[in-house]
Amino acid sequence: MPLSFLQPTFLYGLAAASAPIIIHLINRRRAVVRRFPTVEFLRLAERRVARRHRLKHWLLLLLRTAAICLLALIMARPVLTGSGALGIAGDPLSLAIVLDNSLSMGYQEARAPRFALATEAAARLLRMLRPDDRAVVIPTDGSGPKPLSAVTLTAGPAQYARSLRQAFEALEAPAPRKQIVLVTDLAWGGWRQFTLAQVERVDPQVPVQLIAVGDPALRANLTAKAVATREGGAYKGVPARLEVTVANFGAAEARDQLVQLYLDGRKADQKAVTVPRASGAGMSQVPGEATASFTVISEQEGVLAGEVRLPPDPLAADNTAYFALQVQGTIRTLVVDGDPGLSLASRETFYLAPALNPERTDDAPILPDVVSIAELPARNLATYQAIILANVGELGGELAQRLRSSVQGGRGLIIFLGDKVNPEGYNQGLYAGAGLLPARLRAIRRVAETTGIEPPRAPHPVLRPFQAAGMEALVSARFAAYVAVEPPADPQVRTVLALRTGDPLLLERRVGAGRVWLFTSTADRDWNDLSIKTAYLPLMQALVREAANRTLPALGATVEVGQPLILRDAATAAGQVARIRTPSGATTLLTLTRGTAEAAAAFTHTTTPGLYRVELPGQSQAYAVNPPFEESQVERLPEQELKRLLAPLPVTLIPYRGPEDLARLQSTQRELWKPLFLLLLLALAAELAFAQRLTK
Amino acid sequence: MALNYFDPQILAKLESLELRARTVVEGLMAGIHRSRAKGFSSEFEQHREYTPGDDLRHLDWKAYGKFDRYFIKEFQEESNLKCYVLLDCSASMGYRSDGLSKFEYGCYLAACLSYLALRQGDAAALVTFGEGLKRFIPPRAKQGHLREICEELEARRAEGRTNLGRVLQEIAEAVRRRGMVVVISDLLDDRAAVMQGLKLLRFKGNDLLVFPVLDRDELELPFKELTLFRDLEQDVRVTADPRVIREEYLRALQAFIDAYREECRANQIDHVLLNSATPLDKALIQYLAWRA
C-alpha cells in the first residue's frame, strides 16, 4: 500500500524527534557531582536496578520520540492508497484511461450527462498524476489514444474489446507500475458481445479499475427500434405502410408516447402508443415493444429522408430513428399478346395483365400496355421499362434487333412460350440471330400426367416473394406441356426454376445492360395452371420489377453507427467514383474496386446518425445510419457479471455519481491521521505513566 | 521556651567543646536520679553547704557543731571502670547534609561520654583513628582530663581512610584491664574485620557499645537530580538517578545496618544507630542505661 503525504513540509518536524534524545544526553552531562560516604551501596543499588531502569528509560525515550514523530506525521497528513483506491502513489505509474464515449454515456443523470461525469472523473485522475507518471486516454469508439479534450461523445457503440486492446498496447513499454482505468457507465448493451479473447493482448498483471458513472437504478428509456414496410417497395403515388417499433427498456410502462413521423424534414404524421415495460434483467432483459403504423404516399420518385422521433427522455440520442424511403416510378410494361383469341377469356394475357395491375388503375406500380403483334412495330420500345412476349409466333428480324438493342440498353425482356411459337423460328431469330434467348428451343413436350416445379435450391431476386411463404403454392402448379430447351451454351445463363422432369422452366440471361427471361410454358392456363395459383401474381410482378431494374426495397439499407456502408454495383462499375454525402453535408468520394463478381466500396465514417446519400453514375441510393440498439439498454452491468467477463484480470469497481463520489475518489487515498492521533494519545498516556513511575 | 541543649544544632553554637559536654551531661543528670554509685569513696575532697535532698548520712556533724550550719562532706569517688571512647576520624565521617557533620556529632558524643564517665568517677580514655591510630589518650579519672580530651577532639579533622578492624585489634592489645569500649564510627569498613576486632575486645572482657553514626542523607538519600557520586575515601564513582535507585539503596543500607546489629547482638555488643541530627541525650541515656 503506497504511502504519501498531503502536507509533506511537516515531515521536517520529524527532526524534532531527536529532541528527547538530545535532552537526555544533555541531562547526562549535567549530572550533579556529590561526594558521598556510602557510594558502595549506591553502586550496589545501581547495579541491581540499572538494567531494568535503563530499559524503562529507553522505553520512555522511545515513547517521547514516537509521540513527536506521530505529531509530525499527523500534521503531514499521510494518506494510504490501497486496493480500493486508484493506486496512484508509489512508483511511477503508466496509466491507460479508457473513456467510454458511446451513445449510452449521453444519458442525462441528475447532475449531468454520464459522459460529463466520466470526463470529470478522467480529468481528476490526470490531475492526480505526478510528474514521473504517464497516462494515455483511449476512447471506446476505437479511434485510439487522444487528448482528453479531444474525446467527444459519440452515437456509436462502446468497443470495449478494441479499446482495451489499445490500452494494453499502450502499456507494453516497461514501467514499474501499470494500470488501466475504465471510466464507463457499464451499460449492458456494450458488454453483450464482449469476450476477453477479443482483446487479444491481455496482461493479467495489469490491474483494471472501473469507475462506474451514473445511477445504477433502472429508469425509463424509449428507443425507436426499427422502421419497416409491409410491401416490397415504395412507388410513386402508391400508398406505403410504415411500421415503427418502439422499445421500452424501463421498468415501468410508457403510456401514450407520441411517435412522430417526419419526411424530408416536415412532420408527416404522429401516433400515440403505449409501450409495455421491459421484462427480465441483464443479459436476458427483453424490452417491451409496441408498433405505430403510418401510411405514406409520395408523388415524387427518389429518396425520402424519414425520421421517427420519440418524446424526450434521459437518453435523447436514441429517440430518433432515420430511414430512407426509396420511391420508385411506375413500370411501363409492354405486353405483346400473341394469341388474342376469340374471347376475352381466351386471350393469352387474360391472367397476366390483371396480375401486373390487379386494380387496373393508372397509379399502379406496374402499368401493362397490352398490344397485339400487329401493333408492336408502331410502339416506341424506349418508353417501356419491360417488354413481355406472350406466345408470340413469329418475330421479324428487324423487330428482333429492336428488341436486342432495347435489352442491351438496360430493359428487361420476358418471353412466354405457347402453341403459337415456332421453336425453330425462335432459334433462328432470337437465339442465333439476336442472341436474346437463353437457350436453344427444341420442341413442345407434353406431359401425360402433368409435372410440377422443382423446389428451387438457389435464391434469386425473382423468388424473393416466396422466401417467407408461398413457395408451396408455386411448386404446386401443374404443367401439362412446355418447350424443352437445349442445355444453355452460355455459362452466364441461369436456371431460376426447373420442372420436376428436369427441364428448365425459367431461364435468365444477361444481355448488355439488360436481361432476358425465358418461361418455357404459357402465361395462361393453356399448358399449366400456374396462373390460377396464388403464386402467380407475386411471381409475375417480381419478374417485371427485376426486368425493369425496379427492385429497390421501400427502405434503403440501414446500418448502425460505426458500421461500414458497403456500396455494391455490377462488376462493370469498377473504377467509378461514388459521391457520399453525410448528414452534416460533407461530401466524400469513394472509388469502387472490382471484386470477384461485383464492384464494391466500403464507407466507414458512419459516425453520425442520419441519412447518407450515395450518388453513382446513373443511380442514386440512400442509407440510414441509426444509433446501435444495444446502447439503449442503459441498465448497469452487475459487478459479478463484469468480473466474470474480465476474468482473470484483477478488477475493482468504483461507483461514481457526482461531487460526493469525486471526494470519495480523492479519498481513495485514505487519510491516516485518525489512527495516528489515537496512537499519539496512547503514546502520551504511556509516557505519562512511565515518567511518573520512573520519577516516583 | 527553654533551649534543648541536647540538640546538636544548638550545641554547635557553644564555643567550647568542653562546655558543650558539660552542658549536655549536666542537663541530662539534672533530669534523672543520682546514681547509687556516686559518693562511694573514702578519699575526702571538699565540703559544701547542705541543700535539701542531700543524703543525711553525709552530714558533717562536727562542722555543724563548729559553725552551726549544715555541711555535706564530698569524697573523691573511686572508679574501677575505664571507659575507652573510640572516635572514627576518617574522611567519610566528615560528611554533612546540614548542621553537624558525622565527625562533629561524634566529637560531641565523645566529649559528652568522657565527661559523663569522669563525672561518675570512671576513667575516660579517647582513641582517635582513621586508617590507623591517630592518638591514644590513656584513661584517667581526673576532672582535668576532660580538657585534654576536648583539645584532642577540637584539633582533629576528618580525613583519610578507615581501617576500623585493625584499630580495634590494636586497642584490644593495648587494653590490659577490662573496661568499657565505646565505638563512634559510621562503620563503613570491611564488616568482617570490624566484627573480628569487636569480638576480640569482647573476648577480653570488655563491654562494648557501638554507636554507628550516619547522616540523614545517607539514611534517606533525598536527592532528586541525576548525580555523580564520588566516594569520600576511595576512588569510586557512580552516576545514578537517586529517585530510581533510592529504594534499592535503602534496602542495601538497611541490610548492612541489620547485619551489624544482628552480629552485635549475637556477641552481646550494644548497637545503637545514631542519626547525626538526633539529640545527644538518646546516646547518653543509652550509655547510662548500659552503664547501670
What residue type is A488 in one-letter code? Answer: P
Contact A331, A550 (CB under 8 A): yes
Sequence-distant (6+) residues with CB within 8 A of B105 are: B8, B213, B274, B276, B280
CB contact under 8 A, B230 and A39: yes
Q: Which residues pair with A420 in a beta bridge?
A: none
Q: Do A31 and B251 touch (CB under 8 A)?
A: no
Query: What integer pLDDT is reported at residue A178 of this predicted model?
Result: 87
User: How high does pLDDT run on average in chain A?
Assistant: 86
Confidence band for B1, pLDDT divided at 50, 70 and 90: very low
Q: Which chain A residues touch B238 with a CB distance below 8 Å?
A: 39, 42-43, 46
* Most confident of the following: A323-332, A445-454, B4-13, B19-28: A445-454
Given an 8 Å threshold on Cβ–Cβ distance, is A43 in contact with B236? yes
Write down the H helix ranges in chain B. Answer: 8-11, 17-30, 61-67, 102-119, 145-155, 164-174, 191-203, 216-220, 242-266, 281-291
Residue B71 in this model has a pLDDT that exceeds 90: no
**Cell numbers describing residue A31:** 549530572
Q: Tell me what ipTM this predicted complex has.
A: 0.78
Q: Decide if A457 touches B, using CB distance below 8 A.
A: no
Within 8 A by CB and 6+ apart from A410, the residues are A512, A513, A514, A549
The secondary structure element, H or E, covering residue A683 is helix A673-694
Query: Is B245's CB within 8 Å of A53's CB?
Result: yes
Residues A612-631 have a mean pLDDT of 85
Which of B226, B234, B252 comes nearest A31 by C-beta? B226
Distance CA A441, CA A461 (A): 25
In chain A, which residue's Cα lies nearest the Cα of B215?
A37
**Mutation site for B-interface testing, chosen from A25, A39, A60 by largest number of B Cβ within 10 Å:** A39
A34, B222 Cβ separation under 8 angstroms: no
Looking at residue A83, what is its pLDDT?
44
| pLDDT exceeds 80 at position A250 | yes
Split at pLDDT 50, 70, 90, the class of A47 is confident
Q: Rounded to two decimals, what is the model's pTM? A: 0.53
- pLDDT tens column, A196-234: 888 888 888 888 888 888 877 766 789 998 888 876 678
Q: In whole angstroms, give the CA distance from residue A12 to residue A35.
A: 44
Calpha distance A350→B89 (Å, rounded): 164
pLDDT at residue A414 above 90?
A: yes
Q: Is A31 on the interface with B (CB under 8 A)?
A: yes
Q: What are phi and psi of A257, to 5 degrees?
A: -85, 130
Beta strands A302-309 and A254-263, pairing class = antiparallel
Q: Looking at residue A179, what is its pLDDT?
A: 87
Closest-CA residue of A relative to B248 is A45
DSSP 8-state assignment for residue A217: S
Per the CB < 8 Å rule, is A46 touching B238?
A: yes
Q: Considering only the beta carbons, identify the residue of A27, A41, A53 that sits closest to B249.
A: A41
A41 vs B232, B233, B256: nearest CB: B256
DSSP state of A501: T
Q: Is the pLDDT of residue A570 over 90?
A: no
Domains (ranges, CATH) in chain A?
3-79+683-694 (no CATH), 93-216+636-667 (3.40.50.410), 224-320 (2.60.40.10), 331-547 (3.40.50.880), 558-626 (2.60.40.10)
Q: What is the pLDDT of residue A257?
A: 92
pLDDT at B257 > cutoff 80: yes
CB hemisphere CA count around A332 (13 angstroms) = 8
Q: What is the pLDDT of residue A125?
A: 83
State the amino acid at position B276 in one-letter form: S
A27 touches chain B (CB under 8 A): yes
State residue A639's pLDDT score.
Answer: 84
Considering only alpha carbons, which residue of chain A is nearest residue B96? A36
Q: How far is A13 from chain B (nearest CA, A)?
A: 29
Touching B: A residues 49-68, CB under 8 Å: 49, 53
B80 contact partners, CB below 8 Å, separation of at least 6? none
Phi, psi (deg, nearest 5) at residue A506: -135, 120
* Residue in the block written with cell 468480473: A643
In the predicted structure, residue B79 carries a pLDDT above the cut 70:
no
525515550: which residue's cell? A61
Q: For residue B74, name the pLDDT band (cuts at 50, 70, 90).
A: confident
Given an 8 Å threshold on Cβ–Cβ distance, is B256 in contact with A43?
Answer: no
Query: Given the C-alpha cell 471510466, which residue does it identify?
Result: A183
Identify the residue with better confidence: A553 or A548: A548
How close A684 comes to chain B (CA, Å)? 21
Please state, in angstroms and rounded to a whole number, the distance separating the CA atoms of residues A388 and A381: 11
Mean pLDDT of chain B: 82
What pLDDT was estimated at residue A244? Answer: 93
From B180, B84, B74, B169, select the one nearest B128 (Cα to Cα): B84
Query: What average pLDDT does range A509-515 have in this prediction?
Result: 88
> Per-residue pLDDT for A145 more than 60?
yes
pLDDT reading at B69 higher than 90: no
Higher pLDDT, A284 or A384: A384
Reply yes or no on whether the pLDDT at B286 is more than 90: no
The residue whose grid cell reads 428451387 is A456
Instruction: Tell me what percent of the residues of chain A surpass a pLDDT of 90.
Output: 33
Residue B38's pLDDT is what? 41
Q: Does B225 touch chain A (CB under 8 A)?
A: yes
What is the distance between the alpha carbons of residues A651 and A136, in angstroms, rounded to a whole number? 19
CB contacts < 8 A, A to B, total 99
Model pLDDT, residue A273: 93
The residue with greater pLDDT, A381 or B53, is A381
**Is the separation of the CB atoms in A159 and A628 below 8 Å?**
no
A651 Cβ contact list (under 8 Å, min separation 6) = A207, A208, A209, A210, A642, A643
Helix (DSSP H) and strand (DSSP E) numbers for chain A:
13, 35
Tell me: pLDDT of A100 over 80: yes
> Which residues fall within 8 angstroms of residue A403, CB to CB, at 6 or more apart?
A381, A387, A395, A413, A430, A434, A436
**Interface check B235 vs A, CB under 8 A:** no
Paired strand residues for A332: A367
- Residue-wise pLDDT for A156-205, tens only, equals 889 999 999 999 999 988 888 888 989 998 888 778 888 888 888 888 88
| pLDDT of the residue at A93 | 83
* pLDDT greater than 90 at residue A415: yes
Per-residue pLDDT tens for A462-494? 888 887 777 888 999 999 999 999 988 888 899
Instruction: Please report the domains of chain B, with CATH numbers, ordered by start residue.
Output: 43-76 (no CATH), 82-291 (3.40.50.410)
Contact at CB, B232 and A37, closer than 8 angstroms: yes
The pLDDT of residue B55 is: 77
CB contact under 8 A, B236 and A49: no
The whole-number pLDDT of residue B36 equals 38
List helix spans (H) across A77-153: 114-128
pLDDT tens digit sequence for B270-281: 898 888 888 777
Rounded distance between C-alpha atoms, residue A379 and residue A494, angstroms:
30
Of A32, A40, A45, the CB nearest to B245: A45
A26 close contact with B: CB closer than 8 A: no
User: B266 touching A, CB under 8 A?
Assistant: no
Any idea what the Cα angle at residue A192 is, between residues A188 and A198, rounded to 5°? Answer: 125
- Closest partner CB to B238 (pick from A37, A43, A694): A43
Which residue has better confidence, A348 or A569?
A348
Higher local confidence (pLDDT), A658 or A512: A512
Q: CA-to-CA distance for A170 and A136, rounded, in angstroms?
A: 7
pLDDT interval class at A351 (50, 70, 90): very high
